[in-house]
Structure 1
Amino acid sequence: MSAAETAHEHPQHWEPGETAKDTRTGRVGRVMGHVGPRYQLRPLNGGKEWEADPDHLSPAAQSDALSAAVGEANARTRWGL
C-alpha cells in the first residue's frame, strides 16, 4: 500500500498526541493541535514545532517513530541539539 493510500484511509482530523508522518518532508512528529486547516507537529523527543497540511499527513508506522526518535537522540548527543 502506498503512502498516499494510507493517508486517505486516516480521517482528515488528527487528535493531539497522535503520531503522524509528514509525507512532504519525511519527518515524524506528535500532533500538538491545529490552526485552521494546518496541523502543528513537534518532534517526538521535543523541539521546534512545524506546520503540515493534512493532505501530507499519514499515520506513522512504529518503525518510523522509532527511527525518528533514535535520529533525534543521536543528534543531541553528537551536536548538542
Structure 2
Amino acid sequence: MSGETERATPQDPPPVPTLGTLVVDTSRGDRVGEFRGLAGSYWSLRPVRGGAEWEAEPGAVRRTTHKERLHAEIERWNARSRGELL
C-alpha cells in the first residue's frame, strides 16, 4: 500500500559497512574486528591487533559501541607502539 513505510525484518541483511569499519561479531563472544570485505555471503573481518581474518555471517555482526571502538583503537595503538603491528 502506498504511504506505508517498509520495515526491516530479521531476514534482511544489514547494510555492508565501509572498509576498515570496526564491528562486533556476536557469534564469537562479541569479538571486535575490522571489516575487510565480502567473502561470498559472509563478511571478512580481521582482528584489530592483526592476525588471521575470519568470516562472519552478516546477521551476527553489529556496529561497535563508542566504548568498544575506543578500546579497540587503544589496543591497536598499543600493539603498533610495541612493534606488533605495522
CA deviations over 1:19-78 (Å, ceiling 9, x no partner): 10001111001001111110111111211111100000000112223444666869xx8x
Aligned residues: 68
Q: Report what 1:57 is aligned to.
A: 61
Is the contact between residue 41 and residue 51 of structure 1 (CA under 8 Å) also seen in structure 2?
yes
Instruction: Name the TM-score, length of structure 1 as normaliser.
Output: 0.65
Query: Based on CA coordinates, which of the two structures has the bigger radius of gyration?
Result: 2
Q: Percent identity?
A: 31
Query: Which is helix-richer, 1 or 2?
Result: 1
Inter-partner Cα distance in structure 2 for 1:69 and 1:18: 11
Q: 1:13 to 1:67 in 2, by over 3 A?
A: same
RMSD, aligned α-carbons: 2.6
Q: Report what 1:23 is aligned to.
A: 26
The one of 35, 39, 49 equivalent to 1:35 is: 39
Structure 1 SS opposite 2:51: coil
Q: Report what 1:7 is aligned to.
A: none
Amino acid at match of 1:22: D
Task: Specify every segment of 5 or more residues in structure 2 that has no aligned partner in the other structure, as ranges.
Answer: 1-12
Instruction: Name the TM-score, length of structure 2 as normaliser.
Output: 0.61
Where does 1:42-81 land on structure 2 (aligned, <5 Å)?
Answer: 42-68=46-72
